[in-house]
Chains A and B, each alone.
Chain A
Amino acid sequence: KNQVEQSPQSLIILEGKNCTLQCNYTVSPFSNLRWYKQDTGRGPVSLTIMTFSENTKSNGRYTATLDADTKQSSLHITASQLSDSASYICVVRGGTYKYIFGTGTRLKVLA
């Protein structure tokens, strides 16, 4: 069964600290993996998109990694800010299996 699992479900950190969010998938064949940030009541905004040949991609303070062999991805946030408080969603696409979404990690950054 094609699935995307994210951990942790929720996370609370202090401003300025780093954190890492995890995404494990069983989607096959694999085409690409995307990380999105979704603020409450808003549409998701793309952070990174990686194909199977890419294993690291950065977007400012956000760095995503991909291990296509173990089918794992992580999103690392450096020097967190209050504005990073949001849900982070991992999405995998491959073959005819459309887009498979993880249920997200809800991050709360405290001052």
Chain B
Amino acid sequence: KAGVTQTPRYLIKTRGQQVTLSCSPISGHRSVSWYQQTPGQGLQFLFEYFSETQRNKGNFPGRFSGRQFSNSRSEMNVSTLELGDSALYLCASSRLREGLYANTGELFFGEGSRLTVL
């Protein structure tokens, strides 16, 4: 069974540009979430999608956006890039299992897209 696929794996942009990252979840998984990982802040939650709808959003500025398509594939976009946006962006998919308050499905992460902003 294929895992979570993220593209591109590496990319370099300059300040002010925008970037789009793609994530293909495991077949059958309808929940996709995105994370930013930096050495200083660790992993931080960006947003979560299910059935093309954003379910939750982390504390990031509006420059960070995402969407999910009918085939569950997801994209995230960062506009007007800043130096501080340099990070590893991770996507995770899960088979949604509703718990008391939130999804308790196991998360399967991709290998990430490493973005460098110059």
Contact = CB atoms under 8 A, between A and B. Distances in A.
**Do these two chains really belong together in a complex?**
yes
Interface of A: 29, 31-32, 34, 36, 42-46, 49, 51-52, 89, 91, 93-96, 98-104
A19 B35 CA distance: 28
Contact of B108 (A29, A46, A95, A100): A46
Interface residues of B, number: 26
A49 B106 contact: yes
A26 B78 CA distance: 31
Interface of B: 4, 33, 35, 42-45, 48, 56-58, 90, 92, 99-104, 106-112
Given A101-B42, A101-B45, A29 B101 contact: yes
A29 B102 CA distance: 10
B102 A95 contact: yes
Contacts of A96: 56, 101
A91 B104 CA distance: 12
CB-based closest 10 A-B pairs: A43-B109, A101-B43, A103-B42, A31-B101, A98-B45, A31-B102, A99-B45, A95-B101, A98-B56, A44-B109
B90 A43 contact: yes
Nearest to B114: A41
Contacts of A44: 43, 90, 107, 109
Contacts of B100: 29, 31, 51-52
